[in-house]
Amino acid sequence: MVRPPVADIGRAIRLALKEDLPHGDVTTAALFPSPTPAFARIVAQQSLVVAGLAAAVQTFRTLDPSLVLSPHCQDGDRAQDGDCLLAIEGDGRSILTAERVALNFLQHLSGIATLTRRFCDEVRGYPVTILDTRKTIPGLRALQKWAVLLGGGSNHRQSLSDGMLIKDNRLALLNRSTTPVKTACRKAKTNRLHDMNVIVEVESLAEVRQALAGQADIILLDNMNPATVRQAVRLIKGQALVEVSGGITLKNVRAMAKAGPDRISIGALTHSAPAATLSLVLEPLRGQAPFVVAERGQVPRETRRRGPDPWRRANGA
């Protein structure tokens, strides 16, 4: 089981709720002045890999701890069109107020996990790892990279602090050198901390030779076609790990994997994954004791905690 980044989820939720409720939920406040019992389900409207359910649950719980929350699956599970992912019962005002933030997390992260799974399925049978990149939404990197893991991929660097990757603009600053790739690799090897791997991005077979002369640990082949990747792999002959990146799509990823690299890194996993299609379906609970959970499949029977109105507190009322 892939553990969720709990602290990062908490920070993201607090920021999202603050962003969405600067002065409370004015529509819900106008329509429902008092607690209104309701039952809701979050339902998948496509096949997907679930990611962000922990964030959705925590969003509802943060806004109103009295809500009764019943997950019908776990992060990392596959869900089909029509499957219920989460059941919620309690004050309908709280459900409505938290709905968009909870769905935003769940749809975005499930989209990433689902796309990652599709890439992993495409390269099945080849000994290659699908990696993400640092092309993430500021503030959401830990959550997005968690979603990649849930989809079956692996994480590249978490930050600039935990890996050395020499790309084109850093090489441009070494333009006084006639062999910038070789020079950069040797300088990085000399000055690196904790024996970190030195990864260098190359754009031609000539630069591959420079990377080998500089003793790079990982050679990143940027925007090469499968035929050129195959040539580069033969040239490297196991002297370094081979990573492929740039222009990777679901249509060409299998051909890239067949060319023989060890790793394929894909920025689109986090910057271009389409949001998963989900909906929250809500119904009022009429003629029932408020906040008592009825027997609904896996939904447990539980009663609301007594005390101050959680919705009014969350809305600053």
Q: Indicate which CATH number applies to the domain containing 168.
A: 3.20.20.70
The span from the CA of 152 to the CA of 119, in Å, is: 9
Nearest to 104 by CA among 51, 149, 61: 51
Do 110 and 180 share a structural domain? Answer: no
Do 141 and 81 share a structural domain? Answer: no
Do 131 and 146 share a structural domain? Answer: yes
Has residue 164 been placed in a domain?
Answer: yes
User: Which residue is catalytic, options 121, 222, 262, 309?
Assistant: 222
Token output for 13:
């939720």
pLDDT digits (tens, 9 = 90+) for 14-24: 999 999 999 99
pLDDT digits (tens, 9 = 90+) for 83-128: 999 999 999 999 999 999 999 999 999 999 999 999 999 999 999 9
CA-to-CA separations, 215 to 185, 240, 264, in angstroms, rounded? 7, 8, 21
User: Which residue is catalytic, options 167, 170, 186, 258?
Assistant: 167
pLDDT digits (tens, 9 = 90+) for 211-241: 999 999 999 999 999 999 999 999 999 999 9
The span from the CA of 199 to the CA of 273, in Å, is: 26
Has residue 45 been placed in a domain?
Answer: yes
Q: Indicate which CATH number applies to the domain containing 302.
A: 3.90.1170.20
What is the domain range of residue 72? 6-118+274-314
Has residue 1 been placed in a domain?
Answer: no
The span from the CA of 214 to the CA of 187, in Å, is: 9
pLDDT at residue 13 tops 50: yes
Is 302 in the active site? no
Is 100 in the active site? yes
User: Which residue is catalytic, options 134, 135, 170, 189?
Assistant: 135
Number of domains in the chain: 2
Percent of the chain, pLDDT > 70?
A: 93
Instruction: Look up the pTM and report it.
Output: 0.91
pLDDT digits (tens, 9 = 90+) for 248-280: 999 999 999 999 999 999 999 999 999 999 999
User: Which residue is catalytic, options 201, 207, 217, 243?
Assistant: 201
Q: Are 220 and 200 in contact (CB under 8 A)?
A: yes
User: Which residue is catalytic, options 11, 61, 78, 100?
Assistant: 100
Do 294 and 223 share a structural domain? Answer: no
* The length of the chain, given as a count of residues: 317
Do 221 and 259 share a structural domain? Answer: yes
Do 260 and 214 share a structural domain? Answer: yes
Has residue 67 been placed in a domain?
Answer: yes
Q: Maximum distance among all alpha carbons in the chain? A: 81
Do 285 and 176 share a structural domain? Answer: no
Is 187 in the active site? no
Do 219 and 95 share a structural domain? Answer: no
CB-based contacts of 313: which residues, under 8 Å, 6+ apart?
none
